[in-house]
Structure 1
Amino acid sequence: MKKNNIILIGMPASGKSTVGVILAKILGYNFVDADIVIQEKEHRKLSRIIEEDGIDGFVEIENKINSEIEVEKTVISTGGSAVYGKEAMDHYKNIGKVVYLKVSMDVLTKRLKNAKQRGVVMREGQSLVSLYNERVPLYEKYADIVIDEGDKTMEEVVADLLAALSC
């Protein structure tokens, strides 16, 4: 297996799917949205998996399916909770470069008006701030490249990412 994939990780609404599609077009790569792969394999929406199997069950399913994605020359957009799966993240590190799209809490709050509707994996009573604080160290741990979005446009984020990849 070649290590020629680019795996995007980060909080929900950090632009993983948007940046992923643009990046794939520019590089002539394929694009895979890991959340859609999960929905196809499970024959149900992410929100329904979380409803029926609970958060731990969802994370288990996500980890298993992510660790089985075998592709080449592909940009993979992962779900924000993918970093909870050690096997999945080890697999991703083996098949490509892991890029963390870093977004500030302020920007995130603006973009994520309704976290539940987006199928954000949050425990009962958990705040967005505590979720952010829980995940950021995991994103940083697994990232080969960190792209700080600041208040950049998606095009500027893609340009930064392309520059970082060409090093």
Structure 2
Amino acid sequence: MASTRDTSIVLVGMPGVGKSTIGILLAKELAREFVDTDLLIQVHAKKALQDIVHENGYQHLRELEEAIILTLDVSNHVVSTGGSAIYGENAMAHLAKAGQIVFLDLPLSDLEARIHNMEARGIAKPDGQSFADVYAERVPLYRKYADITIQCRGKSPVAVVQEIIYEEGEQYADADA
């Protein structure tokens, strides 16, 4: 019996965890198309994410992100989402119908070491909210929507890709049992 889910893999996680890098490598490994929702937002708005936040506010970026995700038809793709995609319940339900949602998890200290200038990243957050606050708010949401969680600490992008492929296979094997 085949799984009732499509074969797409949707990557979620904090800014700086490596969703785009891992997504490209994963798409190459699995010979699937790759979609980066942050890039789709920028192309649609014709401006950088941080410019959207500065000009229209973080809520506008979140709304734009959800609207763009809801238009996607991503059968047999690897999808890298923006870090705030998990705020859109309808968007996450849409992505869950497309396939497995994989939470790329990395401790706050590792993320802070990777992101030196949070203000330049286009993070959809209220003014004054620290990166630690964003992390504390989002991690439970990533876990809520995730079918698979991959601990990324100390792993190369290639190692994370191999673990996703293994875990995805295990998920489908369990669904077929």
Please report the TM-score for the alignment, with normalisation by the length of structure 2. Answer: 0.90
Name the larger-Rg structure: 2
User: Once superposed, which parts of structure 1, at least 4 consecutive aligned residues long, lie more than 3 Å away?
Assistant: none
Q: Quote the Cα distance in structure 2 between the aligned partners of 1:166 and 1:98.
A: 13
Q: Quote the Cα distance in structure 2 between the aligned partners of 1:116 and 1:151.
A: 26
Q: CA RMSD in A?
A: 1.3
Flag structure 1 segments of 5+ consecutive residues without an equivalent.
none
Partner in structure 2 of residue 50 of structure 1 = 53
The answer to whether the 8 Å contact 2:59/2:124 transfers is no
Shift of 1:43: 2.1
Flag structure 2 segments of 5+ consecutive residues without an equivalent.
171-177
Q: Quote the Cα distance in structure 2 between the aligned partners of 1:113 and 1:122.
A: 17
Partner in structure 2 of residue 71 of structure 1 = 74
Q: Quote the Cα distance in structure 1 between the aligned partners of 2:102 and 2:132.
A: 22
Partner in structure 2 of residue 132 of structure 1 = 135
Shift of 1:123: 1.4
Shift of 1:42: 2.0
Q: Quote the Cα distance in structure 2 between the aligned partners of 1:107 and 1:47.
A: 22
The answer to whether the 8 Å contact 2:66/2:85 transfers is yes
Give the share of equivalent positions with the same residue, in percent.
Answer: 40
Q: Quote the Cα distance in structure 1 between the aligned partners of 2:54 and 2:128.
A: 15
Q: Quote the Cα distance in structure 1 between the aligned partners of 2:7 and 2:103.
A: 17
The AA in structure 2 aligned to 1:146 is T
Q: Aligned pairs, how many?
A: 167
1:113 aligns with 2:116: yes
For 1:9-88, what aligned pairs fall within 5 Å after superposition? 9-88=12-91
Please report the TM-score for the alignment, with normalisation by the length of structure 1. Answer: 0.96
